[in-house]
Every structure is written in structure tokens, then in C-alpha cells.
């Protein structure tokens, strides 16, 4: 793990996390009417593990999913 490269209060520290949580809220949380905390936890887990990491394309990664990018990286590393 690397420490922050910017000063306290700079917006670059949390940009990736803020982007992820914004996507999570807009795409899943705001439209889900979970009855229990456990139901909400399972739904969020499914969103992250099944959709966000496997299917959702990310422009930063060249419009491929994080899992797809990881596979490409592993293949390049092995070559």
C-alpha cells in the first residue's frame, strides 16, 4: 500500500472510491427497496461481485471489465 501523494484536502485522494460509491448508489441503492439490512447487503454484494467486476465496462480500463482487465494483465505477465 502506498501513502497519499497529495496534500490534505486535495480531491485526488479519494476520486476512485468516490466514483465507485457514486455508481453504486445511482445504479443500485437508490432504486432498491430492501426490507432488511441482510437483504441490502446481499444485493450490494451481488452488484459488486457479479455485475460491477465481471460485466460493467470501465472507460479507464479501455472499455473492458475489471475481471477482463485482470485476465489481460495476467496473460501479459505470463508472456
Say what the pTM is. 0.61
| 58 domain-assigned | yes
CA neighbours closer than 13 Å in the CB half-sphere of residue 77: 6
Residue with cell 505477465: 77
Residue 1 belongs to some domain of the structure? no
Confirm whether 65 is domain-assigned: yes
Q: Which residues of 47-56 are buried (b: 16+ CB within 10 A; e: fewer)?
A: beeeebbeeb
Residue 13 lies in a domain: no
Rounded to 5 degrees, φ, ψ at 32 are -110, 130
The tens digit of pLDDT for each residue in 7-57 reads: 666 666 677 788 889 989 998 888 888 899 999 999 999 988 888 878 888
79 within a domain of the structure (yes/no) = yes
Range of the domain at 41: 34-79
Is the residue at 54 inside a domain?
Answer: yes
Amino acid at each position: 500500500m502506498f501513502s497519499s501523494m497529495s496534500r490534505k484536502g486535495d480531491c485526488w485522494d479519494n476520486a476512485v472510491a468516490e466514483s465507485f460509491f457514486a455508481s453504486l448508489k445511482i445504479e443500485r441503492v437508490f432504486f432498491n427497496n430492501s426490507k432488511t439490512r441482510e437483504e441490502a447487503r446481499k444485493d450490494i454484494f451481488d452488484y459488486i461481485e457479479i455485475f460491477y467486476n465481471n460485466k460493467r465496462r470501465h472507460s479507464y480500463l479501455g472499455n473492458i471489465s475489471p475481471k477482463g482487465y485482470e485476465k489481460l494483465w495476467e496473460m501479459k505477465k505470463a508472456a
